[in-house]
C-alpha cells in the first residue's frame, strides 16, 4: 500500500478524476440544453383524449410523470393551447381518468399571432359574403400564404413608410421648437412657415398611408376560418391571425424535417411575438453581437495603451505595483457595481451633458441621457478592461529582451521599437485578452439591465434612417432575453423551451465570436512565432 502511494499513481488518478468530473458536468449541461432546446421546433403529434367524465381534450403531450404524493398512477401534462378560451395553456390529466385516446389525422395545430397555439379541426371558411364553404388543408394553406403576403405589406407600411414619416415629423417638430425659442423676426417666421409647410405635406402623406393601411386591414379581416375545438364548439379564427397551420399527425418524416428547418430559421431570423414567447430572437442576437463589437472597439485600445504604459514606461516601483494590483482586483468587482457606475457616470453625467448641449430641443425626452447600446457597451468595456490589461502585459513580457535590444541597436527609439517590433509580437497575447473580454461581455446581464437593455426594442440600432447607426437606442440581449422569457413573461410554462433555445443561441454566439478571434490569433502566432534558435 505504501509502495502504491509512493509510486505517484494515486495522484494521477486524483487529477484525472477531477478532470473527468469537470468534463462530465460541462458535457451534461450542454447536452441538456441541446436536447431541451433543439426539440421544440419538431412538430409533436396531437392526442385526442376521451375522459371518464364524458369530455374530450386535444393537445400535445409535453410530459409524463408519476402523480406526486400518491403511491401509484401516472399523469400527463398536455399542451391544450387555446389560451383565449381555456385560460391556460397546459392541463394535467391523470391516467386513470382516461377512457380512450386517438391520434386524429385531421387534427390541426395553428400558430397564431396572438394567444398562442390553437388545436382543433378545420371546418370551413367564411367568405366575403358570409357564405360558409368547406375547405381542405391545401386550400387553407393558399389562403394563409396570401394573407402572409398581405401581412408583410402591412408591416412594411407600418414600420418603414409610416415609421419613416413619423421619424421625419419628429425631426421637424424639434426644428419648430428650436425656432420658437429664438427671438421672433422675419427670417425666423419665414423658416417657420417653410417647416410648417413640410409638416403639412408629411401629415397629408401620413393620412394617405393610413387610409391605405386601414384598407389593407379591412381586406385582411375578410376571410375567417371555422375551427371545431375538442369539446365540439366552433370557433371563428380570422385567417389573418394564422402564422402557420399544420396537421402533425398526417405529416411524414421529411415534411416534419422541412417544418423543423422552417421553424428553426424563423427562430434565428425573425422578430419575437407574443411577449417574446413565440417567434424568433433575431433582435437579441443582433443586439448581443453589436454590443460585443462596440465593447471590443472601446476596450482594446484602452486596455492595450494602459498595459503598454504600465509595462514599458512606468517602471517597477511602489505606485505601479499598487496600480497593477488594483487593476487585477477590478476584475473581481461584482458586475452590478459597474452597472450602477455606468448609470451614474455614462448615462446621467455624460449622456445628460450631451443632451443638454446637442439635443436641447428634444428635452425633456432624453436622447443620450437614457440607457442605450453605447452606454451599455462602454460599461462592459470598463468591466473587461482588467482582462485586456493583464493579458497584454503578459504578451509584452513574452517578447524577448534580445529582440528589443536588436531594435535599439539599430537606432530605433523606444516608441519605434514598441510600434514596429514589440506590439506586433505581443498581438497574440492582446487577442487572447480580447477573446476573454468578449466572452465575459457576451454573457453579462446584470449591468446591462440598468444601462440600456429592454425586453422588446422597437427598432434595431442600425437602420435606414440617417445616420444609420443609432448608438443611443435601447437594444435586446440574449442573456436578458433568457431572464425575461423564462421568468418575466405572462406565460412562463409555455416559454420554457424558448429559454433553452435562447440559451443555446447565446452559447453559440459566444462560440462563434471566440472561434473567430482564436483563428485570427493563431494566424498572428504563426506569423510572429519565436525564433527556434
426 versus 450: smaller Cβ distance to other proteins: 426
Nearest to 172 by CA among 200, 199, 203: 199
Please, are residues 436 and 387 in contact by the beta-carbon 8 Å criterion? yes
User: Which among 108-116, 153-161, 184-192, 409-417 is the span making contact with other proteins, rule CB under 8 A?
Assistant: 409-417
Single residue of 34, 412, 469, 520 touching other proteins by CB under 8 A:
412
**How far is the C-alpha of 398 from the C-alpha of 392, rounded, in Å?**
10
Residues 298-317 that bind other proteins (CB under 8 A): none
User: Smallest distance, Å, CB 313 to other proteins?
Assistant: 14
State which residue, 150 or 412, has the beta carbon closest to other proteins.
Answer: 412
Q: Out of 104, 164, 352, 424, name the contact with other proteins by CB under 8 A.
A: 424
Tell me if residue 56 falls in helix, strand or coil: strand
Quick check: 523 binds other proteins (CB under 8 A)? no
Nearer to other proteins, 311 or 481 (CB): 311
Tell whether residue 530 is a contact of other proteins (CB under 8 A).
yes
Q: Dump the DSSP string for 434-482.
A: HHHHHHHHHH--HHHHTTTB-SS-SS-SB-SSTTSB-TTS-B--HHHHH
Minimum separation from the CB atom of position 423 to other proteins (A): 12
Residues 6+ apart with CB under 8 A from 448: 291, 339, 376, 379, 380, 477, 479, 480
Stretch that binds other proteins, among 143-151, 287-295, 380-388, 406-414 (CB under 8 A): 406-414
Q: Which is nearer to other proteins, 319 or 533 (CB)?
A: 533
User: What is the contact mask toward other proteins in residues 144 to 163, using x (rule: CB under 8 A)?
Assistant: --------------------
Q: At what angle do helices 335-342 and 373-397 cross, to 10 degrees?
A: 130
- Between 470 and 509, how does the x/- string for binding to other proteins read (CB under 8 A)? ----------------------------------------
Q: How far is the CB of 364 from other proteins (least distance, A)?
A: 56
Indicate the SS3 state at residue 48.
strand
Which window, 267-275, 332-340, 491-499, 525-533, contacts other proteins (CB under 8 A)? 525-533
What's the rounded Cα separation, in Å, for the pair 263 and 248? 14
Establish if 379 lies at the interface with other proteins (CB under 8 A). Answer: no
CB of 528 to other proteins, least distance (A): 4
Q: Which is nearer to other proteins, 319 or 409 (CB)?
A: 409
**What secondary structure letter does DSSP report for 250?**
G
* Residue of the chain from 184, 400, 458, 490 that contacts other proteins (CB under 8 A): 400
Name the helix (H) or strand (E) containing 134.
strand 132-134
Three-class DSSP category at 227: strand
Options 87, 232, 402, 467; binder of other proteins; rule CB under 8 A: 402
Query: Does the protein bind other proteins through residue 407 (CB under 8 A)?
Result: yes
Binder among 405, 465, 487, 493 for other proteins (CB under 8 A):
405
Residues contacting other proteins: total by CB under 8 A: 24
Instruction: Find out whether 118 and 225 touch, Cβ atoms under 8 Å.
Output: no
Q: Which of the ranges 37-45, 199-207, 374-382, 416-424 carries the binding residues for other proteins, by CB under 8 A?
A: 416-424
Give SS3 for 455. coil
Angle of helix 163-181 versus helix 186-220 axis, rounded to 10: 160
C-alpha cell at 424: 506586433
Residues 6+ apart with CB under 8 A from 62: 44, 77, 78, 79, 90
223, 50 in Cβ contact below 8 A? no
The Cα 387–Cα 383 span in angstroms is 9
E-strand spans in 210-366?
Answer: 224-228, 234-238, 242-246, 272-273, 278-279
Contact between 489 and 403 (Cβ < 8 Å): no
Query: What does residue 367 show for φ and ψ, rounded to 5 degrees?
Result: -105, -65
Q: How far is the CB of 517 from other proteins (least distance, A)?
A: 20
Q: Is the peptide bond before 447 cis (omega within 30 degrees of 0)?
A: no
Q: Does 421 bind other proteins (CB under 8 A)?
A: yes
Does 293 contact other proteins by CB under 8 A? no
Q: Which stretch binds other proteins (CB under 8 A): 32-40, 104-112, 384-392, 421-429?
A: 421-429
Q: Which of 126, 116, 143, 147 is nearest to 217 (CA)?
A: 147
Nearer to other proteins, 145 or 413 (CB): 413
For residue 431, the minimal CB distance to other proteins (Å) is 15
Nearer to other proteins, 230 or 426 (CB): 426
Q: Any contact of residue 533 with other proteins (CB under 8 A)?
A: yes
Chain contacts with other proteins (rule: CB under 8 A): 400, 402-403, 405-413, 416, 420-421, 424-425, 527-533
Amino acid at each position: 500500500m505504501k509502495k502504491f502511494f509512493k509510486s505517484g499513481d494515486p495522484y494521477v488518478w486524483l487529477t484525472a478524476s477531477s478532470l473527468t468530473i469537470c468534463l462530465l458536468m460541462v458535457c451534461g449541461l450542454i447536452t441538456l440544453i441541446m436536447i431541451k432546446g433543439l426539440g421544440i421546433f419538431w412538430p409533436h403529434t396531437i392526442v385526442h383524449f376521451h375522459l371518464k367524465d364524458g369530455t374530450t381534450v386535444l393537445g400535445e403531450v409535453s410530459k409524463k410523470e408519476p402523480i406526486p404524493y400518491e403511491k401509484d398512477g401516472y399523469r400527463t401534462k398536455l399542451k391544450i393551447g387555446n389560451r383565449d378560451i381555456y385560460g391556460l395553456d397546459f392541463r394535467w390529466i391523470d391516467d386513470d381518468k382516461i377512457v380512450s385516446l386517438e391520434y386524429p389525422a385531421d387534427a390541426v395545430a395553428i400558430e397564431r399571432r396572438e394567444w398562442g397555439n390553437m388545436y382543433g379541426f378545420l371546418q370551413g371558411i367564411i367568405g366575403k359574403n358570409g357564405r360558409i364553404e368547406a375547405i381542405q388543408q391545401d386550400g387553407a394553406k393558399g389562403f394563409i400564404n396570401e394573407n402572409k403576403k398581405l401581412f408583410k405589406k402591412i408591416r412594411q407600411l407600418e414600420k418603414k413608410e409610416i415609421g419613416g414619416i413619423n421619424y421625419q415629423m419628429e425631426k421637424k417638430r424639434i426644428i419648430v421648437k428650436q425656432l420658437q425659442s429664438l427671438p421672433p423676426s422675419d427670417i425666423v417666421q419665414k423658416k417657420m412657415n417653410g417647416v410648417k409647410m413640410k409638416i403639412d405635406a408629411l401629415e397629408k402623406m401620413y393620412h394617405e398611408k393610413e387610409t391605405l393601411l386601414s384598407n389593407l386591414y379591412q381586406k385582411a379581416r375578410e376571410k375567417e376560418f371555422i375551427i371545431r375545438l375538442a369539446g365540439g364548439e366552433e370557433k371563428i379564427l380570422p385567417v389573418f391571425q394564422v402564422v402557420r397551420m399544420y396537421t402533425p399527425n398526417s405529416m411524414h418524416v421529411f415534411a416534419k424535417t422541412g417544418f423543423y428547418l422552417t421553424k428553426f430559421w424563423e427562430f434565428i431570423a425573425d422578430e419575437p411575438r407574443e411577449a417574446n414567447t413565440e417567434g424568433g430572437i433575431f433582435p437579441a442576437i443582433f443586439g448581443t453581437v453589436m454590443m460585443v463589437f462596440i465593447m471590443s472597439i472601446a476596450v482594446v485600445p484602452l486596455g492595450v495603451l494602459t498595459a503598454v504604459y504600465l509595462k514599458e514606461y512606468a517602471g517597477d516601483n511602489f505606485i505601479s505595483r499598487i496600480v497593477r494590483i488594483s487593476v487585477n482586483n477590478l476584475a473581481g468587482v461584482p458586475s452590478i457595481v459597474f452597472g450602477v457606475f455606468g448609470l451614474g457616470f455614462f448615462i446621467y453625467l455624460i449622456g445628460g451633458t450631451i443632451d443638454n448641449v446637442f439635443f436641447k430641443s428634444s428635452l425633456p425626452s432624453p436622447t443620450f441621457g437614457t440607457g442605450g447600446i453605447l452606454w451599455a457597451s462602454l460599461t462592459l468595456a470598463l468591466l473587461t478592461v482588467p482582462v485586456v490589461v493583464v493579458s497584454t502585459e503578459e504578451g509584452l513580457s513574452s517578447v524577448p529582451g534580445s529582440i528589443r535590444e536588436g531594435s535599439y541597436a539599430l537606432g530605433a527609439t523606444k516608441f519605434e521599437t514598441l510600434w514596429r517590433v514589440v506590439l506586433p509580437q505581443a498581438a497574440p497575447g492582446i487577442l487572447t485578452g480580447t477573446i476573454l473580454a468578449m466572452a465575459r461581455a457576451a454573457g453579462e446581464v446584470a449591468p446591462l439591465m440598468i444601462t440600456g437593455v429592454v425586453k422588446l426594442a422597437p427598432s434595431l440600432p442600425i437602420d435606414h434612417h440617417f445616420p444609420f447607426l443609432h448608438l443611443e437606442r435601447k437594444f435586446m440581449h440574449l442573456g436578458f432575453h433568457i431572464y425575461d422569457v423564462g421568468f418575466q413573461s405572462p406565460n412562463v410554462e409555455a416559454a420554457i423551451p424558448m429559454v433553452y433555445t435562447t440559451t443555446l443561441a447565446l452559447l453559440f454566439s459566444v462560440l462563434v465570436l471566440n472561434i473567430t478571434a482564436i483563428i485570427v490569433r493563431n494566424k498572428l502566432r504563426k506569423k510572429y512565432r519565436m525564433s527556434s534558435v
